[in-house]
Amino acid sequence: MGGMNMKMKRLGRTGLSVTENSFGALPIQRLTRDEAVSLVRSAYDAGINYFDTARAYSDSEEKLGLALDGVRRNVVISTKSMGKTRADVLRDLDVSLQNLKTDYVDILQLHNIPALPDPEDPEGLYAALAQARQAGKCRFIGITAHRLDVALAAARSGLYDTVQFPISYLSSDEDMQLVDVCREHDVGLIAMKALAGGLVSSGTAAFAFFAGLPNAVPIWGIQRESELREF
């Protein structure tokens, strides 16, 4: 591991220990394969151990798979499915596993859901997560949402290990409730858009904000080596 001394955070009840600054792999779909592999390896060498991707991010999963081949056991990987049925989600997951060159993901998330699925529906999305976990294809399950009510309901439900939601130091007090609710229920909180979609120009202020939130793990969308060095 490289020179950066990264602090670790416990990702809620998953018990996973992840680097306080983790890697959002959406932007690497815009890089060439070689650039992406080099960037992800640099992140790994710098000590970053958590990488978040999604089936919907074109070839992001494949690039992560190539970059992390051989060090899979040392990292935490999460991905997401936008599948609308149980079968869709399980099919997506099989493609994700193939792309990522692994037989499991650490966290499988339902991608940007508008409402929580019915956990009792045997053909529903929750059934897919439960089935994937039972089969050992994922260790933990979660959701990502842009709607606060959905994120809060997921955190309170006891059914999900993680919740991913946009949190930044520009977040409203209302959005910040989610931090407390996740802490109360021991749900891992993964913060997307941690730079508020580019509105936050100062990385330093953003890092300081998250340093004060022991249960929120930001995933930074990293596209360039210079950004990685700042982290």
Burial environment of residue 67 by CB neighbours within 10 A (0 to 12, 13 to 18, 19 or more): buried
Amino acid, single-letter form, for residue 135: A
Higher pLDDT, 71 or 215: 71
- Catalytic-labelled residue, pool 50, 57, 126, 169: 57
Triad 196, 213, 180: Cα angle to 5°: 95
The H-or-E segment that residue 143 falls in is: strand 138-144
Closest C-alpha to 168, from 144, 149, 196, 205: 196
The strand pairing partners of 79, in sequence order, are: 108
Task: State the pTM of this model.
Answer: 0.94
Least confident range of 29-38, 60-69, 201-210: 201-210
> Cβ distance 147 to 155 under 8 Å?
no
The mean pLDDT of 187-199, rounded to a whole number, is: 79
Closest C-alpha to 174, from 198, 149, 157, 155: 149
**What's the pLDDT band for 201 if we cut at 50, 70, 90?**
low
The mean pLDDT of 135-146, rounded to a whole number, is: 98
Does the structure show a pLDDT above 70 at 123? yes
The pLDDT assigned to 226 comes to 82
Taking the alpha carbons of 156, 177, 209, 25 in that order, is the dihedral positive or negative?
positive
The pLDDT assigned to 227 comes to 79
Triad 6, 142, 17: Cα angle to 5°: 25
| DSSP H stretches of helix in 79-224 | 86-100, 125-134, 148-157, 173-185, 203-211
**Mean pLDDT across the chain, nearest whole number?**
92
The answer to whether residue 126 is catalytic is no
DSSP category for residue 182: H
The pLDDT assigned to 220 comes to 86
Place of tokens 């999900």: 160
